[in-house]
């Protein structure tokens, strides 16, 4: 995490970061990251990216994250929302679900994975990023079929929604998105100025420990 920590340090307090770790990270590394501005650990469950981590390591990390006052970020396949429903509900720290859970837009708003995600949003410890429209969309650019999913999530828990472009778009699928188009798409997801401020400023400031 040296590059990330260096970037945070150069920001003079303007940035926070999240970490991807392995079994070699101990108390010393966690303390160094915390002092350097790291506030979360990201786990990848996505199969085509080699997901399926060691669950003992996962549980140990949950304990450390709780001690540090951090949160978890989950990159999931849509089927994982159903598979890990019971496990995630037991986790005692805030959790951010990336890319709207990578649900498939063609399966509609009534698909079981999305129902599970909406159910999670009734609990204060769950957050979601309404990003990755290109990963949710079944139609391709400009990815507008992802908008109804984002609007449902925003309506369900407006105080626990985050957003981002996902630049520089690692592991992109069929279509490399244009970041300007994704910014325009956000205005369709959250058309009201007060919604936009909440998602872009207030919510991340609260989660990452900034003064909003």
Residue 152 has a CB neighbour count (10 Å cut-off) of 16
**Of residues 6, 54, 166, 184, which has the active-site annotation?**
166
166 is catalytic: yes
Which positions are catalytic? 166
């Amino acid at each position: 995490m040296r590059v990330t920590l260096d970037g945070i340090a150069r920001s003079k307090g303007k940035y926070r970061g999240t970490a991807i770790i392995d079994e070699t990270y101990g108390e010393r590394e966690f303390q160094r990251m915390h002092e350097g501005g790291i506030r979360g650990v990201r786990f990848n469950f996505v199969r085509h990216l080699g997901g399926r981590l060691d669950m003992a390591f996962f549980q140990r990390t949950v304990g450390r994250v709780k001690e540090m006052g951090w949160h978890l970020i989950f990159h999931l396949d849509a089927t994982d929302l159903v598979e890990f429903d019971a496990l995630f509900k037991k986790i005692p720290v805030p959790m951010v679900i990336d890319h709207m859970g990578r649900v498939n837009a063609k399966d509609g708003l009534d698909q079981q994975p999305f129902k599970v995600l909406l159910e999670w949003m009734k609990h204060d410890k769950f957050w979601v990023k309404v990003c990755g429209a290109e990963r949710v969309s079944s139609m391709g650019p400009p990815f507008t079929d992802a908008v109804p999913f984002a609007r449902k999530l925003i309506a369900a828990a407006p105080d626990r929604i985050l957003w981002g472009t996902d630049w520089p778009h690692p592991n992109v699928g069929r279509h490399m998105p244009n970041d300007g188009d994704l910014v325009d798409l956000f205005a369709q997801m959250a058309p009201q100025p007060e919604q936009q401020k909440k998602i872009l400023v207030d919510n991340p400031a609260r989660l990452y420990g900034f003064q909003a």
